[in-house]
Structure 1
Amino acid sequence: MPSIADNEERNASVNDAVHALERASKIPAKQRSTKVSGVVDVICRHAFEDGLDATAVPAVAQLAAKKTELDQTSVTTLIKNLYPAQRVPSDVVVSVVGGLGQGRGKPSAGTQNELVKWLTVVYDILEDPSILSRLYGVLFGMLDMISIRTSLCHLLSRITRRKHVKPFRIQQLLELSRGLGNEPALQGLLRVYKDYYPDIILTAAGTSRKSFPPALDPEWRTRLLAIQDAGIAIEENIPEQQRSGFRLLRKGAKRSKVSAIPEVHTFQAHEATVTLEEIDSVEDFVEKLDRIEPPSQMISFLTDPLLQKFADLKPSPVSAARVELWLSACLQEEYTAAQESQETSSQLSEVLDGLCTYTQYSKVLLSIAARFLMAYLPIWDGVKDIDAVLVLLSRLPLQPFQDIHDNYLGPVERAVSSQNPAFCHKLIDCYTELLRQWTTRVTALSTVSETPTTRFPYRKDVEALVSHVSTLTTSLILSFPLDADSPCVSSAISFYETLSSATRTQLIPIVIPPPFLTYYLAQSSSGTSLSRICAVFANYKLAFERHPKPLGDFYPAVLTRMFNCCLKDIYNLVWVHKALVADESKSAAGFLATPTVRNDLNVYLQEVDNEYGIGLAFGLSHNALLAPLAASAWRTLEEHEIQKKAYDPQAILRHKGPVSQRTLDALSKNGGVTVQMVDYKVSVLDWLATRGCGGVRDLMYATVKDLKRS
């Protein structure tokens, strides 16, 4: 017999194969002119590799959920390979449940059993998980079917909530239990019921490994995980309840290993209480908050958003002690292993990630975590769990900087710099987050006062932190070869961006980076880095202008002189042709370039072009980083002037660049557009700002008097 598989593979999509299967399912096997097995192979192969889309999944599910002319092997193969590429729609669930039970149009008992198993494994990726809850009565009514009872009990055990536990269902379960004896799956479902009403169900529900839903089939789970990792939108389309944090977090198919931190479950709940498993919305949570029973393992609050909210809104010394005891036992075991030069387990990584999740939510570092880090960091290898360690350290509370450096940050710096130098930029990121957290805390707690004794109450701690980061960054720059794409450069600028924008009068002092570091960052081979360091000094300039006068009552003269020097050098670099000019009378250090170096560089440039020199090597038009953008800005401005003055675009003389006062004068005399130098510079600043380099414009508008007045 000819096979249609070849044609399907060459010419048709998987949806065409599904349509072909639908047609074949209505024709008895002996009357078909083509083989069905080839079509099934096409569908299953596509499902195994990429998952089935929103059109194919309902079609295949409807085929399996009704009696057709397809053989049992083909139907079973289809169900076992029914990998959804998106979340499973509710209409598919309704179709599958509608195919269960007894009747002439129902599929075979084996097919029904496979369908129930499929519902169990896709429960966590349903588009609307409440659909099975609404169908609970239909599913429960099929417990008398021997062929699907075991799988059905496993499914009901997963979806049962307190609202489903009714007196008539309890009675029916007890009768089935007495009539069937110790059937494991049925006893497991009875145990779930007993957890909700232990005072009513007095019968001892014996359990075994077969009493509870089995783990997902390893092959099925692996394939679904591969589909998700390939970009399929199962995990992206998270249900609204989980996304808002008012429904318990279930990891679903992506949970590929046994977790050290368990999911939230409440056992032995009282009849008058409510469990977190029953909460589905913010309204439900608020209404039942006072009656919620704490879960059996409070440590789940490290990762579950709903339990975190419950623990914050309804704190309890007992719950806190349970968390402390669990973490103490777990972390002590891992510390002992590390102390004995043994490899720590993967559970430590999961616990640290969980602590990070909670710390980022609560903005508070648990005391047990701080004590563990103090003991663990001196023997830490500087590699394992580096992200989690640094996140936790960035949440250390405000305290003398020397204390946290001796106890926490010093050991981390030594470990990372010796064992993992490629990640040194993460140290600076950690300090940036620590600074952000400290400044936020200071602003929230401090009271502004005009008395000199209370100015900057945390000044020494902030200044010590900034001074240390400046030394650390300079050391990294001198120790490792860096380029424009170096993460250390970006991290260093991020630190000073945070610092410069956090300054508050009489709360957070103005602390500027040392000149050497400023000049290095300003001369980075990245236009973005230059713009960002300009923005930092623009923030400082505005902070000084807003600060109460006289400044000498708050800051030493050496600081203001150093700031003015750096500001003047950056101004000379960008705005005028005086870069690298050292002039003490005008507070310019020339980027620390000696007169000999500047003269030698000037001689070299004139040898390259006799009209060129050190005075033209910088500025908006000639700066190697800004010149391309400046040229584009000029072309836009020139075209605008041509259209505005109605010049002939073909006849008018165009500027060939780079732009200077002399070339603009010559252009105007020789038949080109007439543009003032200041207008050109303003247009370049605006052009830079619209392309992500707004820091240059911010600094010039904060510094240049004519621009400030405008």
Structure 2
Amino acid sequence: MPSVVEDQPALQDALKLLHNASRTPAKQRTVKVSSVVDVICRHAFEHGLEADSLRDIVQLVCVKTNLDQTTVTTLVKNLYPAQRLPADVVVTIVGALGQGKGKPSSSTQDSLVKWLAICHEILQDPNVLTRLYGVLFSMLDMISIRTSLCHLLSLITRRKHVKPFRIQQILELSRGLANEPALQGLLRVFKDYYPDIILGSASLSRKSFAPLPDAEWRTRIATIQNASTAVDDTLQDRHNGFKVLRKGPKRAEASAIPDVHTYHATEASVTLEGIDNVESFVEKIDRIEPPGQMISFLTDPLLQKYVELRPSPITTTRIDLWLATCLEELFETERLGTGDPQYLRDIFAGLLKYAQCTKELHPIAASFLRSYLPIWNGQENVDAILSLLTYVPVGSFQAAYLNFLQPVEQALASRGPSAYEAILNLYTGLLQQWASSAKSQSAGRKPVDVTVFEELTEHVSTLSMSLLLSIPVGHCPSLISSIICFNEILASISEPHIVPITLPPTHLIYLLALHASTTTLSRTCGIIASYKRAFDAHPTPVKNYYPAAVTDSLNWCLRDMYYMLWISRGLEAVEEKTKGLYCDPTLRSALSQYLRGIDRDYSIGSAGNLSNNPWLASLSASAWRAMEDAEIEREGYDRSTIRYHPGPVSQKSLDVHRKNGGVDVDWDGPNGYKVFVMKWMAERGLAGTRDLMFTTVKDLKGKV
């Protein structure tokens, strides 16, 4: 596919041809206009239109020309801006509306208004349409564009636009036009800002409000603009949370949580609806009048900032009263089985947005969950409920387990492995939140009881070992990954004097290390390495902070993995040094005899090293081939005569290979085979074994 730069000359040529054709009668043209339009539309769809190209096309369609209506309509429908829409383009379009000798056709004007309604979210200057509000409103008497114009006005109307004379004009138009749907929709928007408006009995229809932008169009615009270097944020984040969130009239009516609206305000009032950017919010925050229903703060980012930055007892009381009443009624309906699933879904979504914003669970929401979870069926709103529970305040684990976590486990237990995966992810999120909360505690507040981390780890470890011993080998890899994720977080969150280093049981580590997966082995080694680094960075002496049982446990893990992977003494138990991965000495002896019976060079000790480990052998062989080829290339050996190592690689086989005319490679050392294999695997996403050995082997420390 040619680049934008390569296509640009073709686009410019096409635009020149189109301008010439627009001034030439159809019968006198020497160029087929449809072919020219195809070139322009194809470029617009694939790459978007730069500001100058967009400006050229808009200026062309905004005047009366010799181009036929089909051509003009096609051009308007394919106006895909590559960046935000410049203000002068908007002014040009608005200037083309209305009656006049040089104005475009009514059909073109309607298409342009619809295009503005779709593009109003990607304006370079969000206030340009606000400044042109009076001009647009004055054109409501034009039948041909009235519906589209009402839709556009509904989207850009703010309190300052709602004037008595405009209300009167819309009411007169509405009565004279038998309650036209689009006018009724605009009146509804006006009524949100001026509740005293008395509406007729006319019902609303789908034509009353602006239709949602075509999904394909929005996707294409997002793709084009995300690929453009001139765009540094997405459409959704354009206001960075400094503008009132609007769900749209239809969705707002159906939602359990209302949109932000400030009632009984005057023209001099300062309201949240009138805020468009951070500068305006900061300038007017002391004069902003609170909205009618404070509960909107659950979902509205601007109101959340207002409540956080201007706290008051009245605001808190209003929110608490609404939440308490709402959640009490919700619990009763759910207990009786008469609840509305959509209403419940909206409430949970709102509570979750609040928790994500404040990083805490609202006390009233916590009380509701404490009552609701015992009657929960474990099927509805699973993601929202589990996400909410990650914000349970840090305190006593037993209290949190009895009140929140145990009911969830009981509700989900019957759903199989996927449910336990969700439970483990819940505990992982809870661990992260509790650690973050403990680290952010101010000096004047009571420190977090560190035993909460030990109790949480003990519970999750027991659950994890039960699952590992229950599921068949090779099944549920995502569940195994969830177990490892929890332990990866656990190994990395410690902070001296605040969050303790908490080790899982060695049985769990060994079960993971022996699991039938290369990735699992690597990640498990990475966990052990993280614990080693945590203790290395801890204030000394460590024995003053942790009992010997804790450090002994880690040392057993370090030596056992070192024995297995590095020095070919796998499963060897040495008193007070290693546990041999809890392999019974009698079993190890029997396995060793069996292997030597097959081949005298075989041994159980070397069965788990880098070259022979079932989960690493194929990777080690590939790494050796890469190392051997690099050595041949570096030394300039003749590939047709050099002797290649047949594998598997061992210290003895390398010595023999060197004597028989093969490459000269060491077994140990910073440039040896073992180090190369670990680095080779790390480059391919398996860095755990490298990290473990480079933090354990004395000669390799600090050389990662």
TM-score interval (norm. to shorter): 0.7 to 0.9
Aligned-partner Cα distance in 2 for 1:108–1:479: 73
Q: Does 1:656 align with 2:639?
A: no
What CA distance in whole angstroms lies between the structure 2 residues aligned with 1:571 and 1:406? 41
Which of 538, 551, 560 is the equivalent residue of 1:569?
A: 560
* 2:477 matches 1:486: yes
Q: By how many angstroms is 1:247 displaced?
A: 2.8
Asked if residue 133 in structure 1 is aligned to residue 91 in structure 2, the reply is no
What TM-score do you get using the length of structure 2 for normalisation? 0.80
Pairing 1:324-335 to 2, within 5 Å after superposition: 324-335=320-331
User: 2:198 — aligned with what?
Assistant: 206
Query: Are the structure 2 counterparts of residues 335 and 172 from structure 1 closer, same or farther at C-alpha, using a change threshold of 3 Å?
Result: closer
- Pairwise CA distance, 1:159: 1.5
Separation (CA, whole Å) in 1 of partners of 2:81 and 2:596 = 66
Q: Does 1:691 align with 2:671?
A: no
Post-superposition offset of 1:521: 0.8
Cα distance, 1:462 vs structure 2: 1.6
Distance in 2 between the 1:171 and 1:549 partners? 75
* Pick aligned residue for 1:369 from 345, 362, 365: 365
How many Å apart are 1:461 and its aligned residue?
Answer: 1.8
Give the corresponding residue for 2:515.
524
Q: What is the TM-score with the length of structure 1 in the denominator?
A: 0.80
Deviation at 1:182? 4.8
8 Å contact from structure 1 (residues 51, 227) kept in 2:
no
Residue 96 of structure 2 is aligned with which of 96, 99, 113? 99
Aligned equivalents of 1:531 and 1:427: distance in 2?
Answer: 24
Q: % of aligned pairs identical?
A: 46
In structure 1, the residue matched to 2:419 is 423
For 2:408, the aligned partner's letter is V
- After TM superposition, give the deviation of residue 346 of structure 1 in Å: 1.6
Deviations 1:293-350 (A, max 9, x none): 2233333322332222222111233333333333334433432232123464123223
Distance 1:279 1:377 in 2: 39
For residue 682 of structure 1, report the CA deviation from its aligned partner.
Answer: 2.3
The verdict on how the C-alpha distance between 1:608 and 1:52 changes in structure 2, with shifts beyond 3 A counting, is same
One-letter amino acid of the counterpart of residue 278, structure 1: G
What residue identity is the alignment partner of 2:690? R
Say whether residues 1:703 and 2:696 are aligned partners. yes
Match of residue 677 from structure 1: 667
CA RMSD of superposed structures (Å): 4.7
Counterpart amino acid of residue 242 in structure 2? F
**After the TM superposition, which of the residue ranges 602-611 and 355-364 deviates more from structure 2?**
602-611
Equivalence for 1:277 = 273
1:484-525 deviation per Cα after TM superposition (whole angstroms, max 9, x unaligned)? 761222121221222222223333333221122111111223
Q: Distance between the aligned counterparts of 1:573 and 1:483, measured in 2?
A: 22
**1:506 & 1:171 partners in 2: Cα distance?**
65
Question: How much has 1:171 moved relative to structure 2?
Answer: 7.5
SS at match of 2:644: coil
Say whether residues 1:634 and 2:631 are aligned partners: no
Give 3-state SS (helix, strand or coil) of 1:397's partner: coil
What secondary structure does 2:668 align onto? helix
Q: 1:658 to 1:360 in 2, by over 3 A?
A: same
The equivalent of 1:467 in structure 2 is 458
Q: 1:420 to 1:19 in 2, by over 3 A?
A: farther
Q: 1:296 aligns to what?
A: 292
| Partner Cα distance (2:14, 2:624) in 1 | 60
> Where do 1:226-625 residues align within 5 Å?
233=223, 238-239=234-235, 242=238, 244-250=240-246, 258-342=254-338, 344-419=340-415, 421-445=417-441, 458-481=449-472, 483=474, 486-547=477-538, 553-583=544-574, 585=575, 587-606=577-596, 611-625=601-615
Q: 1:187 to 1:657 in 2, by over 3 A?
A: closer
Larger deviation, residues 467-476 vs 484-493: 484-493
CA contact (8 A) 1:66 1:105 kept: yes
Q: Measure the CA separation in 2 of the matches of 1:268 and 1:369.
A: 30
* 1:206-229 Cα distance to aligned partner (Å, 9 max, x none): 3347799966789x64x8236657
Aligned letter for 1:510? I
Determine if contact 2:121/2:235 at 8 Å carries over to the other structure: no
Tell me, in whole angstroms, the C-alpha distance in 2 between the residues paired with 1:641 and 1:420.
52
Residues of 1 paired with 2:558 and 2:345: CA distance?
46
1:697 alignment partner AA:
R
Report deviation, 1:409: 0.1
Corresponding letter in the other structure for 2:280: D
- Residue identity matched to 2:555: N
**Per the alignment, in what secondary structure is the counterpart of residue 98 of structure 2?**
coil
Give the 3-state SS of the residue equivalent to 1:678 in structure 2. coil
Q: Equivalent residue of 2:453, what SS?
A: helix
Segment drifting more, 387-396 vs 142-151: 142-151
1:410 CA drift (Å): 0.1
Q: Letter of the 2:603 partner, please give it.
A: G
Letter in 1 for 2:365: A
Residues 243 and 276 in structure 2, CA contact (< 8 A), matched pair in contact too: yes
Q: CA deviation at 1:546?
A: 4.6
Mapped to 2, the partners of 1:181 and 1:346 lie a distance apart of 34
Aligned partners of 1:279 and 1:695: how far apart in 2? Answer: 50
